[in-house]
Amino acid sequence: MALFTGFVGAPHLHALVRLLGYQGVAVVVGELLGVARGLLHGTLAQFTQALQNAMPRHCKLPRYDYGSNGVLGYYHAQLTDIVQYPDARTELFHAFRELGNIILFCMLIEQALSQEEVTDLLHAAPFQNILPRPHTAEGEKPETKQKRLEAKYAALQIVPNVDKYGTAKQSQLSREGDLLTRERLCCGLSLFSVVLRRLRACLAAPQWPAPAPKHHAATDLDQNDFHRLWSALQFLYCIPVGETQFTVEELFGEGLHWAGCTIIALLGQQRRFEALDFCYHILRVQRQDQKDDVVKGIPLKRMVDRIRRFQVLNSQIFSVLARHLSAEDERAGVEHVRCFPPPSANKIN
């Protein structure tokens, strides 16, 4: 038992799924969605509105000519109110961490549930006349060996035996159970997709901006969009801390990033975030000039290394979310570009 203490992982989730069953998991997820709704309509909405008022009205992407040190100094001056916000590393990040942990738990519980379902199907297969294809040597007929295998395990078949020896009610129940077991994974249902849809409905409240139109051009003047605020917060936690201080990842784990990326994806702002993020712009400029200065007490190279690690993490989170969001509403999917054929020679003449 000591191997499973000190953390929460796959063994605990599998045990939870076996213990609770479908109805228990539904109750737990429903309660978690209630907590997430309270965070989105309460604490996070209040903090978001307060911080958006502290955001600079104009915060553009500086030209590469300024150098990465100049870009870092510009953003540090523009985002002073956000960097010095007293409750950012305590209450605000803690609220985002709670929301992110809820999202992560729902995703992991679905993975555990799917693995348990596959295990159940494999265990039930011999009792449903679902037998593996037998190996046949050269010259042997697979149909003959398959029939022998079915005759060998005929005594295990639940439905025929219940029909033969049971009552009408037992026969009906056995057929319904057999049908449920066979088609359990055939519907393509996803618990995590339902959770994301419920969270998207929560973001439709007046406290949150509406998703951007599909053909709205991305500009760095959309300061009221959530992705701009998250860029400012990402700038804050990408700043390296001292040796005696705890980093954001040590204090809050990945739940913080899951919350921010999920809200961005559900609001349809992923592409704007990736194109206009402050930290990503510093990273792109520093890759060109390779400077390693200290700006406002911030070591540029260390900060760029942190930005790159969080960029990889954000990309992984967005890719997971994209697999569960519908293709119609997913802004990070493949764009449909209409290609016009070249003019024919007859039309040119």
Q: Per-residue pLDDT for 211 more than 70?
A: no
* pLDDT attached to residue 285: 93
- Give me the percent of the chain exceeding a pLDDT of 90: 34
State the pairing for strand pair 298-299/294-295: antiparallel
Q: Per-residue pLDDT for 231 more than 50?
A: yes
Q: Per-residue pLDDT for 176 more than 70?
A: yes
- Give me the percent of the chain exceeding a pLDDT of 70: 85
Give the tens place of pLDDT for each residue, 292-345.
888 888 999 999 999 999 999 999 999 999 988 864 454 444 445 566 666 665
Instruction: Compute the mean pLDDT over every residue in the chain, rounded to the nearest whole number.
Output: 83
**What are the backbone angles phi and psi of residue 299, rounded to the nearest 5°?**
-70, 115
pLDDT-based confidence at residue 171 (cuts at 50, 70, 90): confident
Give the tens place of pLDDT for each residue, 14-47.
888 889 888 899 899 999 999 999 999 988 988 8
Measured between alpha carbons, how far is residue 83 from residues 69, 236, 240 in Å?
18, 6, 13
* pLDDT attached to residue 154: 79
Higher pLDDT, 348 or 178: 178
* pLDDT attached to residue 103: 95
Q: Are 300 and 292 in contact (CB under 8 A)?
A: yes
Closest by CA position to 269, among listed 231, 226, 322:
226
- Averaged over 87-93, what is the pLDDT? 84
* pLDDT attached to residue 325: 85
* pLDDT attached to residue 300: 92
Strand segments (E) across the chain:
294-295, 298-299
Give the tens place of pLDDT for each residue, 115-144.
888 887 777 777 777 777 777 777 777 778
- Averaged over 78-101, what is the pLDDT? 88
Give the tens place of pLDDT for each residue, 236-277.
999 998 888 888 888 999 999 999 999 999 999 999 999 999
Indicate the length of the chain as a whole number.
349
* pLDDT attached to residue 53: 83
- Averaged over 214-223, what is the pLDDT? 54
Burial 141-172, CB ≥16 within 10 A → b, else e? eeeeeeeeeeeeeeeebbbeebeeeeeeeebe
* pLDDT attached to residue 334: 46
Higher pLDDT, 185 or 78: 78
